[in-house]
A and B are shown apart, each in its own frame.
Chain A
Amino acid sequence: MKEKINRSIWGNLIVSFVLIVVAIFMALPLVYSIMNAFKPLDELFLFPPRLFVRKPTFKNFSDLFYLMSTSFVPFSRYIFNSIFISFFGTLGHVLIASMAAYPLAKHRFPGSKILFNLVIFSLMFSGYVTNIPRFIIMSKLHLLDSYLSLILPYIGATLGLFLMKQFMEQIPDSYIESARIDGANEFKIWWYVIMPNVKPAWLTLILFSFREIWNDTYTPALYIHNEALKPFSLALTYIQQGGFVRAGAGAAAAVLMLIPSILIFLITQSNVMETMKSAGIKG
C-alpha cells in the first residue's frame, strides 16, 4: 500500500461520501427515465410521483412500436437512418482522420505545422459558429436532404483528428523506419504499421464519433426536411413533444436511445482511457 502513505481515514470517509452523493445526482435522471419506460400509464401520472416502478410493464415499448408503425414514416426507418449515418460517419471519420493524423504526427513537410495549428484552433470554438455558412455551402453543393449532409461534416470533425495525432506520436519511429527499409510506401505503413498500433485511439474515435452523431438533433433538424431521412434522435424529440398520451412511448424511446452509447462505452472504456492519456495540449 505504498500509494496510500498520506491518506487519513477521515479524509477517505469524506471523499467516499461526496463521491456517492454526486453519483446519485448523476444517475438519478437516468434511473428515472429507465423506470418511466416500464411504468404503466397510471403510474406515470401518479400523485405524488414515484421514482421507482411498482408494476413494470412492456406496454410503453409496444405503444412506441405501434405509434411509430402507424406514423407517416415507419419507426424502423428512423432507426435505420440513425444506424446508417452513425455507422458511415464513424467509419469515415476513423479512417480518414487517422490517415491524415499519421503524416501530421510523424512527417515534417511544408504546411504540416500550420494545418495542425488550425485544427487546435478550431477546438476553441463550437460548431454552432459555422452553422449558417455551412448551411449555405450545403445548399450550394446540393447536399441538403441527403445522407451525405449528415455524414460528411462528421468525417471532417476536429477532435478525432487531434486525439489520433497525439496518440500516434508515441509510436516509436523505429517501427516506421524498418517498414520503410522493407520497401513499404507511406500508405502501407499507415495501414499495416500505424493502425494496428493505435487500436486504443480508433476505439476512442468510434465512441466519440458515434456518441456525437447518434445524439445529434441540431444538424439533422437543419439539413433534413424529408421525413424519411430523419434520424431517430429527431423522431424522439417529436414523440417527446407529443404530450400526455405519448409520455410512456417517449420514455421507452429514450431508453432505446441510451442503450447503444452506453454499450459502446462499456466496450471501449479501457482503450478510451489509454488514448486520453496523450490528449494534452502543450502550451
Chain B
Amino acid sequence: MKRDKIKNIWKEIKKNRESYFLILPYFVLFFIFVVIPVLFGAILSFTNYNIIQAPKFIGWSNYRRLFLEDDIFLIAFQNTFKFALITGPISYFACLFFAWLINELSPKIRAIATLLYYAPALSSSIFFIWTYIFSGDVYGLLNGILMNLGIIKEPIYWLQDPNINLYVLMLIQLWMSLGTSFLAFIAGFQTIDRSLYEAGAIDGIRNRWQELWYITLPSMKPQLIFGAIMQVTASFAVADISATLIGFPSPLYSAHTIVLHMWDYGSIRYEMGYASAIAVILFLITVTINQGVRRILRSD
C-alpha cells in the first residue's frame, strides 16, 4: 500500500521532470541564500561561534543572556517595537489613503503623483540628505528656517538629542515608506469593477467614505494582505537610517534597534552564536505579527 503511494509520487515526479528543471536554478539559490541560512541561524543560536573555532553547543544560554543580562538588547527591543508600532500602521494607512486619493486623479496627474510619492522609496540610498535638513547646527535647513521665523532661538539637536531622535527617524522612515505596497494599492484600486460603485449608489451609498468601506476595501483584500506583510517586514527591520543619520552606536543607544544590535555582535564582535539568537528573535517577532495581521485581514 505504502509502496504503491511512493511509486505513484515517483511517477508524478518523473512525469513533471521538465517543471523541476525549470524551477531548479532559482530554488538552488533560494535555498542557499534564504532557507538554509534561516535553519542554520537557528542552530547557530544555540552555540558559541566566532568563525575561527568550531561552534560549541551551549543550549539556551544565548537567549538567557539576551533577555536577562543584556540591557542594551532590551533598549533595542523597545525601540524597535516603538518604531514598528508607530511607523508600521501609519505608513500602511498612508499607503492606502494616498493610493486611494491618487486613484481618483486623471491618468496623467496620477502618473506624476505616483512618481512624486514613490520617489523617496525608489531612491532609498539618498536618505542621508536628511542629515542636512535635520543638522543640529545653524546650517541645518530646518533649524535655519525655524530660527529665521523666530520660532526657536537655539538650534535643536534633532539627531543627537536622545529624547527626540527616534521620532525624527520615524518621520524619515515614513518619508521612505510609500513603496511596494503603495504601488500594489494603487493597482488594486484600479482593478475594482466600476459597476459595483453604480450598484452601490443605487443601494444608498452616499459618500466616498462609505464607498471605500463597503465596496472598495472588501474587493481588494488580497492586495491589503500583501501590503500589510510588506509593511510589517519593513518596519521591524530599521537599521541603516539609524546608523547613517544618528551614528552607531547612537547617543545612549537612543536609536538602537534589534538589527543594529545583531550587526554589532555579528560584524564587529564576531559573536556569531549570540548574533544569530538576536536574528532568531527578530524572525519570530516579524513572522508572528505577520501571521496575526494576515488572520485579521482575512476574516470578515
Q: Which A positions have Cβ atoms within 8 angstroms of B?
A: 2-3, 5-8, 11, 15, 18-19, 22-23, 25-27, 29-30, 32-33, 36, 45, 47-49, 51, 96-97, 99-100, 102-104, 107, 109-110, 112, 115, 118-119, 121-137, 139, 152-153, 155-156, 158-159, 161, 185-187, 190, 208, 211, 214-218, 222, 233, 236-237, 240, 254, 257-258, 261-262, 265-266, 269-270, 272-277, 279-283
Contact A133 to B37, CB < 8 A, known contacts A11-B208, A47-B139, A258-B123? yes
Contact A123 to B233, CB < 8 A, known contacts A49-B139, A133-B41? yes
Q: Decide if B96 is an interface residue (CB 8 Å cutoff).
A: no
B residues 1-59 touching A (CB-CB < 8 Å): 9, 12-13, 15-16, 18-30, 32-38, 40-41, 44, 51
19 residue pairs A–B, Cβ–Cβ below 8 Å:
A29-B129, A32-B129, A110-B9, A119-B30, A126-B234, A129-B283, A129-B286, A132-B266, A133-B40, A134-B37, A135-B267, A187-B22, A215-B124, A217-B125, A233-B125, A262-B119, A272-B183, A274-B187, A277-B188
A152 proximity list for chain B (CB < 8 A): 29, 32-33
A135 proximity list for chain B (CB < 8 A): 266-267
Indicate which residue in A49, A100, A103, A136 contacts B51 across the interface (CB closer than 8 Å): A136
9 closest cross-chain pairs (CB), A and B: A280-B222, A156-B29, A276-B187, A100-B26, A126-B237, A109-B16, A130-B37, A103-B19, A215-B125
**CB nearest to B13 among chain A residues:** A110
Residue pair A3, B197 in contact (C-beta under 8 Å): yes
With a 10 A CB-CB cut-off, give which of A2, A3, A125 has the most chain B CB atoms: A125
Residue pair B37, A29 in contact (C-beta under 8 Å): no
**Partner-contacting stretch, out of B68-76, B85-93, B160-168, B272-280:** B272-280
Please, how many angstroms separate the alpha-carbon atoms of A124 and B99 in the complex? Answer: 23
A275 proximity list for chain B (CB < 8 A): 187
With a 10 A CB-CB cut-off, give which of B44, B128, B175 has the most chain A CB atoms: B128
B residues 211-262 touching A (CB-CB < 8 Å): 211, 220-226, 229-230, 232-234, 236-237, 239-240, 244, 259, 262
Residue pair B34, A158 in contact (C-beta under 8 Å): yes
A126 proximity list for chain B (CB < 8 A): 233-234, 236-237, 259, 282, 286
Q: Determine how close the nearest CB of chain B comes to the CB of A36; give it in whole angstroms.
A: 7
Contact A47 to B144, CB < 8 A, known contacts A132-B276, A187-B21? yes
Q: Decide if B291 is an interface residue (CB 8 Å cutoff).
A: yes
Please, how many angstroms separate the alpha-carbon atoms of A218 and B101 in the complex? Answer: 34
Binding site of B, secondary structure by majority: helix, strand, loop or mixed?
helix
Q: Mark B185-226, 1 if CB is under 8 A from A, else 0.
A: 011101100100110010001111001000000001111111
Indicate which residue in B36, B116, B220 contacts A133 across the interface (CB closer than 8 Å): B36
Question: What total count of A-B pairs have CB within 8 Å?
Answer: 309
Q: Determine how close the nearest CB of chain B comes to the CB of A154; give it in whole angstroms.
A: 9
Contact A280 to B240, CB < 8 A, known contacts A126-B233, A130-B38? no
Residue pair A96, B26 in contact (C-beta under 8 Å): yes
Q: Determine how close the nearest CB of chain B comes to the CB of A130; give it in whole angstroms.
A: 4
Contact A257 to B51, CB < 8 A, known contacts A15-B101, A26-B178, A279-B184? no
B119 proximity list for chain A (CB < 8 A): 26-27, 30, 262, 265
Residue pair A110, B12 in contact (C-beta under 8 Å): yes
Please, how many angstroms separate the alpha-carbon atoms of A29 and B191 in the complex? Answer: 33
Q: Determine how close the nearest CB of chain A comes to the CB of B42; give it in whole angstroms.
A: 9
Residue pair B120, A26 in contact (C-beta under 8 Å): yes
**CB nearest to A208 among chain B residues:** B180
B residues 156-181 touching A (CB-CB < 8 Å): 175, 178, 180
Residue pair A280, B282 in contact (C-beta under 8 Å): no
Q: Determine how close the nearest CB of chain A comes to the CB of B211; give it in whole angstroms.
A: 6
Please, how many angstroms separate the alpha-carbon atoms of A48 and B143 in the complex? Answer: 9
Q: Decide if B81 is an interface residue (CB 8 Å cutoff).
A: no
Contact A132 to B123, CB < 8 A, known contacts A6-B208, A281-B222? no
Residue pair A130, B25 in contact (C-beta under 8 Å): no
B60 proximity list for chain A (CB < 8 A): none
A281 proximity list for chain B (CB < 8 A): 222, 225-226, 229, 294
Residue pair B126, A254 in contact (C-beta under 8 Å): yes
**CB nearest to A185 among chain B residues:** B18
Q: Determine how close the nearest CB of chain B comes to the CB of A232; give it in whole angstroms.
A: 9
Indicate which residue in B19, B190, B220, B262 contacts A107 across the interface (CB closer than 8 Å): B19
B207 proximity list for chain A (CB < 8 A): 6, 8, 11
Residue pair A6, B205 in contact (C-beta under 8 Å): yes
Q: Decide if B63 is an interface residue (CB 8 Å cutoff).
A: no
Contact A131 to B279, CB < 8 A, known contacts A7-B208, A107-B19? yes
Residue pair B25, A99 in contact (C-beta under 8 Å): yes
Please, how many angstroms separate the alpha-carbon atoms of A262 and B44 in the complex? Answer: 41
Q: Decide if B66 is an interface residue (CB 8 Å cutoff).
A: no
Please, how many angstroms separate the alpha-carbon atoms of A269 and B107 in the complex? Answer: 12
Q: Decide if B61 is an interface residue (CB 8 Å cutoff).
A: no
Contact A161 to B26, CB < 8 A, known contacts A29-B175, A110-B13? yes
Indicate which residue in A6, A19, A128, A276 contacts B98 across the interface (CB closer than 8 Å): A19
A161 proximity list for chain B (CB < 8 A): 26, 30
B40 proximity list for chain A (CB < 8 A): 133, 136-137
Please, how many angstroms separate the alpha-carbon atoms of A172 and B102 in the complex? Answer: 31
B113 proximity list for chain A (CB < 8 A): 19, 23
Q: Determine how close the nearest CB of chain B comes to the CB of A21; give it in whole angstroms.
A: 11
